[in-house]
């Protein structure tokens, strides 16, 4: 499988969000490869979306979201968790897709060690997958065309296998059905 090209990320955010399902996220951590199949995402569409971190414009916290598509935007939430987003569109647009859940494929023992868990809920949530993959503040701004964290091409998930719903854990923009997930996958967050 090849790395996703920059052009994949420069497309409309809702399209990228759906197309991320089934792609593999790869994290090289201390020389070891951790791989997860993306099974759940949420789209955040910048200035048109009151739930987006960029709704009110550029700040020090969200400046990575204004980079050219194909970068990783990592933020800290609830005073204890990191969440990872794939930046989309052209530079200065401010849109991204939150990776909500992955199905572990490779490096599972290290993921369990990173999470200090040996259970089924290893990567079925945005903070859980960041902890399992060792994604923290230092990875904010990572170019997904590099060798530390990257996404791989894979077969497209058929539209009939993609579910949609409202996004989780937000207070505004709750009517938007911009959460996409692989129907029937056990690793989708609950």
pLDDT bucket at 117, cuts 50 / 70 / 90: confident
The helix/strand/coil state of 162 is strand
Cα–Cα distance measured from residue 98 to residue 47, given in angstroms and rounded to the nearest whole number: 16
CATH of domain 6-182: 3.10.300.10
pLDDT bucket at 79, cuts 50 / 70 / 90: confident
pLDDT bucket at 120, cuts 50 / 70 / 90: confident
Model pTM score: 0.96
Range of weakest confidence among 9-23, 53-67, 82-96, 110-124: 110-124
Residue 180 near residue 168, CB atoms below 8 Å: no
Cα–Cα distance measured from residue 68 to residue 168, given in angstroms and rounded to the nearest whole number: 26
Task: Report CA 77 to chain centroid distance, whole Å.
Answer: 15
Cα–Cα distance measured from residue 66 to residue 62, given in angstroms and rounded to the nearest whole number: 7
How confident is the model over 106-111, as a mean pLDDT? 96
Instruction: Give, to the nearest 10 degrees, the angle between helix 108-115 and helix 126-133.
Output: 110
The answer on pLDDT for 179 being more than 90 is yes
**Dihedral in degrees, nearest 10, Cα atoms 163, 188, 93, 19:** -60
Name the phi and psi angles at 33, rounded to 5. Answer: -100, 125
Cα–Cα distance measured from residue 164 to residue 30, given in angstroms and rounded to the nearest whole number: 36
């Amino acid at each position: 499988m090849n790395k996703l090209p920059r052009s994949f990320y420069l497309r409309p955010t809702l399209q990228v969000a759906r197309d991320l399902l089934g792609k593999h996220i790869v994290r090289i951590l201390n020389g070891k490869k951790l791989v997860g199949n993306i099974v759940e995402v949420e789209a955040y569409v910048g200035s048109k979306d009151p739930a987006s971190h960029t709704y009110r414009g550029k700040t020090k916290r969200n400046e990575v979201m204004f980079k050219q598509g194909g970068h990783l935007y990592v933020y800290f939430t609830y005073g204890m968790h990191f969440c990872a987003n794939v930046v989309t569109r052209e530079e200065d647009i401010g849109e991204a897709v939150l990776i909500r859940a992955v199905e572990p494929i490779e490096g599972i023992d290290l993921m369990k060690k990173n999470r200090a868990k040996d259970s089924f809920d290893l990567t079925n949530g945005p903070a859980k997958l960041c902890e399992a993959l060792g994604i923290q503040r230092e990875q904010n701004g990572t170019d997904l065309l590099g060798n530390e964290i990257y996404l791989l091409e894979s077969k497209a998930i058929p539209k009939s296998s993609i579910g949609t719903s409202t996004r989780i854990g937000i207070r505004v923009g709750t009517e938007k059905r911009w959460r996409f997930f692989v129907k029937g996958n056990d690793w989708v967050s609950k």
